[in-house]
Amino acid sequence: MLGVGFVVKKNFKRLVMDFKAIGTRICTLRIKGKFFNYTIINIHAPTEVSNEEENESFYDLLQKTYDESPSYDAKIIIGYMNAQVGKEEIYCPTIGSHSLHENTNYNGYRLIQLATLNNMATGSTMFEHRNIHKPTRTAPDRSFENQINNMVMDDRHMSDLLDVKSYSGGNVDSNHYLVIARMRARISNIKKIREGRG
């Protein structure tokens, strides 16, 4: 019923530093980068109808996983978050203004709380796209679509995120769509000013 994982391209296999299966809903992958390393946390969050105890247990474990990841890594949370993020101004700049939805649901509030607590932002709602590139899931009967798979990233690395959008045409044998993020790795050009000895 549940499960999370990663598929890594063969020529990137040498860059994999670590993989941890935290449980049926959370796993992590650590990738070596050019200027810093990346910890990617893949999740499958409980649904809106799950009980409060299950939700609390999941978000407590997710926070613990985040806290135990190397603090100097760029941390990214991806996956099936069951979270609709809206366009409420009160939550900007954490959520951006380009969501498919007008209003945030309960799981969306939980996601925003997590992001705010850890100085993160939802990259999946930061970029302006046509609505066909926003949905991440369609109902089994294709009667409606929603945006519940998200990408959340440390705010200090958000300038490296160039784009996030979904592709409904990918054949992944699922009613979920591919969500693709484009990033760049760069080094800061800010020079440190040394204090003179006096």
- Residue-wise pLDDT tens digits, 61-119: 999 999 999 999 999 998 888 887 888 888 887 887 877 767 888 888 888 899 999 99
Mean pLDDT (the chain) is 82
Distance CA 44, CA 27 (A): 9
In this predicted structure, what is the pLDDT of residue 85?
84
Tokens of 174: 């699922």
* Contact criterion met (CB below 8 Å) for 119 and 108: no
Helix (H, G, I), strand (E, B) or coil at 14: helix
In this predicted structure, what is the pLDDT of residue 136?
66
Helix, strand, coil shares of the chain, percent, nearest 5, are 25, 25, 50
Taking the alpha carbons at both ends of the chain, their separation in whole angstroms is 66
DSSP string, 100-118: S-SS--HHHHHHHHHHHHT
In this predicted structure, what is the pLDDT of residue 170?
64
Is 149's pLDDT higher than 80? no
Helix (H, G, I), strand (E, B) or coil at 153: strand
Residue type (1 letter), 170: G
Q: Where are the domains of the chain?
A: 10-183
DSSP H or E run through 182: strand 178-183
Q: Does domain 10-183 have CATH number 3.40.1160.10?
A: no
Is 57's pLDDT higher than 80? yes
* Contact criterion met (CB below 8 Å) for 84 and 109: no
- Residue-wise pLDDT tens digits, 16-53: 999 999 999 999 999 998 888 999 999 988 887 778 88
The answer to whether the predicted template modeling score (pTM) of the entire model surpasses 0.85 is no
